[in-house]
Amino acid sequence: MLTHLLITFSLCGPCSTKDTIHDVVDPTPFIALWKGASAQGKLDTRAVHDTLFQQWFAAIQDARPDDAHPWAQRAYWLHAWHGWFLIVANRYAGKRTLSVDSTWRTRDTVVIAGYRHTLESLEGRVRECFGTCASALLLGTGNVAGFPLLQDMPRATTVERALRHRTRSLARSERFVLWDPGDDVLHVHRSFERLETAMVKEAGSVVAFLLPFMSDAMAAAVALRAAKVRIFYADVLDRWHRRY
């Protein structure tokens, strides 16, 4: 009987479930603050002056996520990027324009988990933890040349679902990916352009990278013409509209 119990425990003990996955730093205060800060797709940076935000971000800076569950690490670096992005945006709100200021991702630094980071290096950690450049789609800035602000900040237990939902929603939105069968052109929003090298490295081509996230109908149409598809990046994707 004892031998049977030991065998059963050895088989089931290492298994992990969502109930055993805990965030490195409790994101509850930040989730509530971010919901208000990103309302209606427009960034409100006043949250950085909230005591709860300051305490939460200090905990993010002091944390050591390396031994946490992979999902917890992904959520941690995602939260760290958004927290620092909110602080950086607050510093330059009303003073600098993103269309002219090209250094905002690399200029300001902060110590997080024992290392000095910029927004760009934090994005690198996010992409490293997720193992795909598609995770950059979660890092919305809300400006014309960027992805929309993330509306629902995920926890460790929901971060994988959040990535699936985000990639599919953007790839299936005509604001970000639009197929023109008449010219074999795949119109892609400008926000994807800086990921082009990573997409090609990861999937072989931009088309192959986006294909799994498209709707079935669009994916089938694009796949049939894959060899002839041209990519065109634009800030605004538009087409002729039917009026009947």
Q: What does the mean pLDDT of the chain come to?
A: 88
Counted domains in the chain: 2
* Per-residue pLDDT reduced to its tens digit, 96-135: 666 666 788 899 999 999 999 999 999 999 999 999 999 9
**58: burial class by Cβ within 10 Å (0-12, 13-18, 19+)?**
exposed
pLDDT computed for residue 1 by the predictor:
46
Same domain for 216 and 230, yes or no, is yes
* Domain end position, chosen among 171, 189, 204: 171
Residue at 158 is within a domain: yes
Same domain for 191 and 125, yes or no, is no
Q: Average of pLDDT values for 153-165?
A: 97
Q: Would strands 185-189 and 110-112 be described as parallel, antiparallel, or unpaired?
A: unpaired
Torsion angle of C-alpha atoms 200, 202, 204, 207, degrees rounded to 10:
-70
Residue at 229 is within a domain: yes
Residues 6+ apart with CB under 8 A from 122: 77, 80, 81, 84, 112
Residue at 209 is within a domain: yes
* Domain end position, chosen among 144, 171, 198: 171
pLDDT computed for residue 119 by the predictor:
96
pLDDT computed for residue 99 by the predictor:
60
Same domain for 137 and 198, yes or no, is no
pLDDT computed for residue 95 by the predictor:
66
Kindly report the backbone phi and psi dihedral angles of residue 232, in degrees, each rounded to the nearest multiple of 5, phi listed first: -130, 120
Q: Average of pLDDT values for 186-196?
A: 95
Query: HSE (CB half, 13 Å, CA atoms) of 128?
Result: 10
Same domain for 182 and 129, yes or no, is no
Structural domain harbouring 188: 177-234
pLDDT computed for residue 11 by the predictor:
36
Same domain for 211 and 106, yes or no, is no
Same domain for 191 and 99, yes or no, is no
Sequence length of the chain is: 244
Between 240 and 74, residue with greater pLDDT: 74
Residue at 243 is within a domain: no
Per-residue pLDDT band for 188 (boundaries 50, 70, 90) equals very high
Same domain for 129 and 222, yes or no, is no
* Per-residue pLDDT reduced to its tens digit, 67-89: 999 999 999 999 999 999 999 99
Residue at 83 is within a domain: yes
pLDDT computed for residue 15 by the predictor:
40
Same domain for 63 and 136, yes or no, is yes
